[in-house]
A and B are shown apart, each in its own frame.
Chain A
Amino acid sequence: MIFFQALLLFFFGAAAFLIFFMTAYLLIRKKWRKKYAKWDSMIDLLLRKAIFFNESGSSADQPIPVTPRLRVNLENSRFRAQLTKKITAAKKNMSGQAGQNIKKLYLQLDLDTHAIKLIETGKWHLMAVGIQQIGTMELKEHLARIYRFTNNKNELVRAEAQLAVLNLFGFEGLRFLDVITYQLSEWQQMKLLKELSVIPHVNLTGIDKWLKSENASVVVFALKLARNYHHFELYQEIVACLEHLESSVRTQAIYTLTEIYSEDTSKKLLDRVPLEEYNNQLAILKAVKKIGDEADLPRLQGLLNTEDLEMKLSVVRAMASLSQSGMDLLMAWPQSQSYPLKEIITQVKSEIRV
């Protein structure tokens, strides 16, 4: 009986505590939400004032008016974080005078000093935020501070630093590729290429050097740059990458040679087939399908004997797309009327029709 009463007491006690805890939590959350909403409207008003600062007849030398209340709030780190988030988001959306005014406000409120402080904390998550701000606000004067982080041991820090350097100096910013020893992840390479795609293209130099980098990911990225920006003059260097020790480099070289090629590229690629890994063999066949010619047919025909169905399909696709003679050769092949070649040829024929 006593045990039952104790259990009941414990149950009600726990329930009461839970209700108290939940109520307190909800009240605090409501209070913070209200506060954030208030801050949001205060910040939005300030940003609108800043964006249209010159239109109110104010001279560019005058500071953007900031209320004393906002100045007081600036001491609060949560408010400052909210303000910085909104200012950087607005900077990303506005250009011209409006963008300049937002930058002016950012500097006027000394938010750059706080960004530097974040970088100097040594905590990777804060450093990344600070570096991102410097890049977004285009504070070129802080290049020296962030450049060294392009080869930081922390992946997020160096990713943000590399993007910030591109933001500040465009294609010139890619110089960090000369020195980085850490690998550029596939994701980071995509982000860098996306960033570059919106920057006015200038004559990019240095790719030849990066193609010989000891960092395999830099070579892969250089191959992507050569392909995207059509650096035909680098043809020989790209062909040399077909012999690279890293398979990922050789794969990328095959892709790049599909865009930057000469008359004998398909021959060079087919020479590599017996030496290559399976995936690269398939990549070569795909490349030959696009850039090959009739002269490649006998060598492709030699590959028809493979037992691997995927490979067989790729060979047939390449032969059929090169010329009508390719298709004639396929039809004349002894096994063309039996499984699986017959089915593969039918499939490829329907692909060509489509």
Chain B
Amino acid sequence: MKILIAEDDELMLRTLEFRLKKDGHQLILARDGREALEKIDQFLPELVITDIMMPYLSGLEVVAALREKDQTPIIMLSAMGQEDIVLEAFRLGADDFITKPFSPNELSVRIKRFMLVHSR
């Protein structure tokens, strides 16, 4: 599966890259919202995983911009206590969210579930 990860924390980005590459996914990395949108247009990922708090464009703006174009599944990464923002993300069209702190394995399982649902 071709997955785009948008995350401004380099360690988190590399950790997710390492974990998901191990699962056999093809990864596209973006370090801010603006880069994420550019790479989405360029590489047409099948799944987008995006942090909420990012420079230039937030995760919410990425969701809103993406939903204007297509229905690519989106998983949001949010910090604890951001319930209002998560609700806003769902309203804008996000499909799922994972709350930080989270286990990379949990993300891996969620992606497998996504693949199952979308392959039906």
The stretch of B5-13, B31-39, B59-67, B89-97 that contacts the partner chain: B5-13
Q: Which residues of B contact A86 (CB under 8 A)?
A: 11
Q: Which residues of B contact A52 (CB under 8 A)?
A: 18-19, 104
Q: How far is the CA of A283 from the CA of B9 in the complex (A)?
A: 44
Partner of A48, one of B14, B100, B101, B103: B14
User: Does the CB pair A92–B101 fall under 8 Å?
Assistant: yes
- Interface flag for B81 (CB, 8 Å): yes
Minimum CB distance partner of B19 in chain A: A52
Q: How far is the CA of A51 from the CA of B80 in the complex (A)?
A: 20
Partner of B103, one of A44, A47, A95: A95
Minimum CB distance partner of B18 in chain A: A48
- Interface flag for A173 (CB, 8 Å): no
- Interface flag for B15 (CB, 8 Å): yes
- Interface flag for A327 (CB, 8 Å): no
Minimum CB distance partner of A195 in chain B: B81
Cβ of B23 to closest chain A Cβ, rounded Å: 11
Q: Chain B interface mostly helix, strand, loop or mixed?
A: helix
Partner of B15, one of A40, A48, A198: A48
Q: Which residues of B contact A95 (CB under 8 A)?
A: 101-103, 106
User: Does the CB pair B80–A198 fall under 8 Å?
Assistant: yes
User: Does the CB pair B18–A94 fall under 8 Å?
Assistant: no
How many residues of chain A have a CB within 8 Å of chain B? 22
User: Does the CB pair B81–A94 fall under 8 Å?
Assistant: no
Q: Which residues of B contact A48 (CB under 8 A)?
A: 11, 14-15, 18
Q: Which residues of B contact A92 (CB under 8 A)?
A: 100-101
Decide: A44 near B14, CB < 8 A? Known: A94-B104, A99-B103. Answer: yes
Q: How far is the CA of A99 from the CA of B15 in the complex (A)?
A: 12
Q: How far is the CA of A54 from the CA of B80 in the complex (A)?
A: 26
Decide: A94 near B102, CB < 8 A? Known: A89-B9, A198-B80. Answer: yes
- Interface flag for A93 (CB, 8 Å): yes
Q: How far is the CA of A52 from the CA of B14 in the complex (A)?
A: 12
Interface string of A185-229 (1 = CB under 8 A from B): 000000000100110000000000000000000000000000000
Minimum CB distance partner of A52 in chain B: B18
Partner of A93, one of B9, B105, B106: B9
Q: Which residues of A contact B105 (CB under 8 A)?
A: 96-98
Q: Which residues of A contact B81 (CB under 8 A)?
A: 194, 197-198
Minimum CB distance partner of A40 in chain B: B10
Q: Which residues of A contact B106 (CB under 8 A)?
A: 95-96
Interface string of B40-52 (1 = CB under 8 A from A): 0000000000000
Q: How far is the CA of A40 from the CA of B80 in the complex (A)?
A: 26
User: Does the CB pair A90–B18 fall under 8 Å?
Assistant: no
Interface string of A302-326 (1 = CB under 8 A from B): 0000000000000000000000000
Q: Which residues of B contact A40 (CB under 8 A)?
A: 10
Q: Which residues of A contact B11 (CB under 8 A)?
A: 44, 47-48, 86, 89-90
Partner of A96, one of B12, B19, B103: B103
Q: How far is the CA of A96 from the CA of B19 in the complex (A)?
A: 15
Q: Which residues of A contact B10 (CB under 8 A)?
A: 40, 44
Decide: A98 near B14, CB < 8 A? Known: A52-B19, A89-B9, A194-B81. Answer: no
Closest 10 CB pairs of A and B: A96-B103, A198-B80, A95-B101, A93-B100, A44-B11, A198-B81, A98-B103, A94-B101, A95-B103, A194-B81
Given contacts A90-B11, A194-B81, 12 further A-B contacts (CB under 8 A): A44-B14, A48-B11, A51-B15, A86-B11, A89-B9, A90-B12, A93-B102, A94-B103, A95-B102, A96-B103, A98-B15, A198-B81
Interface residues of B (CB under 8 A from A): 9-12, 14-15, 18-19, 22, 80-81, 100-106
